[in-house]
Structures are given as structure tokens and as C-alpha cells.
Amino acid sequence: MHRAVERSSLTGRIQRPLISIQGTLDALTPPATFGDVYDRMVTDARRASLHRHVHVPAGTHTDGLVAIDNEAYRPMPPSFVTAIAELEPWTRPTTRS
């Protein structure tokens, strides 16, 4: 049991490229408490080259608030699409001549 918990605990020792996307107005998982902390863990574990931490200005945890005030809040899906597009070439093996 201890080994299973150890394997799934957040240590920052990631093995594969990871993009974390978080809205700056995320009230459920505030960046300063969650995303920024994990980004520091990855950096401290010397795995920063495998991690991209993207802040979406005015993004929230869910897009439900965008319909209420689309000038104060920004939809997140376009940022997800951009991040996935960035992840593809970043994770492709490089070819050597």
C-alpha cells in the first residue's frame, strides 16, 4: 500500500512532458495554491524542462461564468486547443542527421 501511495503522490518528479493550464480567476483551485505550487515542485525536482505552466488571464475553473459576464471572464477551451497544439511538437522525438 505504501508503494502505491508513493507512486501516485505529487512530488514534481514527472517523467513525461506535461502542460498545466489554469485560469487566473479559478476560485476552486486558485493558481497560487495549486498550479504555482506544483510548478515549483517540478522545478525543485529539476524537471522544469518537461513542464509548461500556462496561466489563462480571466479564465475560471468552469466556463459557466462566461455567459454571465463575457467581458470579465474568458472561455478556457481555446487555451486548451492551443496547449495541445504546443504539446504535439514538444513531445515528438527529434530526428538526428
Helix (H, G, I), strand (E, B) or coil at 71: coil
Strands (E), the chain: 18-23, 51-56
Residue type, 10: L
Predicted TM-score (pTM) above 0.75: no
The stretch 36-42 carries a mean pLDDT of 95
Rounded Cα distance, 93 and 89, in Å: 8
Does position 95 have pLDDT exceeding 70, yes or no?
Answer: no
